[in-house]
Amino acid sequence: MIEYVDICVGLAWGDEGKGKIVSQLTKDYDYVCRWAGGDNAGHTIYINDNKYSTHLIPSGVFHGIKSIIGPGCVINIDSFMKELDYLKNNGFDTSLIKISPKAHIVTDEHIKKDMNKYKELIGTTARGIGPCYMDKYARTGKRVNEYKNILEEFIWDETLHGKVLCEGAQGIWLDIDYGNYPFVTSSNTLPYSACSLGFPPQKIRKIYGAIKIYDTRVGIDPDFPENLRDNKELAQIAEIGNEYGTTTGRLRNVNYLNVDKLIKALHYSGTTDLIISKIDILEKVKVYKYIYKEQIYIFSSSEELLDSLKKIIKENNNYVSNIILSRSPKKI
| Amino acid (1-letter code) at residue 244 | Y
Reported as type and span, the H/E element at residue 296 is: strand 295-298
Packing angle of the helix pair 259-269, 302-316 (nearest 10 deg): 50
Write down the pTM of the prediction.
Answer: 0.94
175-197: burial string, b at 16+ Cβ within 10 Å, e else: bbebbbeebbbbbbbbbbbbbbb
Contact 135, 110 (CB under 8 A): yes
Contact 246, 14 (CB under 8 A): no
CA dist 29 and 52 (Å) reads 21
Counting runs of H as helices and runs of E as strands, what totals does the chain give? 10, 16
Helical spans, DSSP H, in 90-146: 108-113, 119-122, 129-137
Report the share of the chain in percent with pLDDT over 90.
80
Contact 23, 182 (CB under 8 A): no
Query: What pLDDT score was predicted for residue 226?
Result: 83
Our measurement of the distance from residue 48's CA atom to the centroid of its chain's CA atoms, rounded to an integer in Å, reads 23
Place 42 in a pLDDT band, splitting at 50, 70 and 90.
confident
Domain ranges of the chain: 2-325
pLDDT, one tens digit per residue, over 279-307 is 999 999 999 999 999 999 999 999 999 99
Q: Computed from CA positions of residues 229, 233, 239, 245, in that sequence, does the dihedral angle turn out positive or negative?
A: negative
Contact 165, 60 (CB under 8 A): yes
Q: Which residues pair with 164 in a beta bridge?
A: 5, 31
pLDDT, one tens digit per residue, over 218-269 is 888 999 988 898 999 999 999 999 898 666 677 889 999 999 999 999 999 9
Contact 66, 98 (CB under 8 A): yes
Domain 2-325 has CATH 3.40.47.10: no
Where in the sequence numbering do the catalytic residues fall?
15, 43
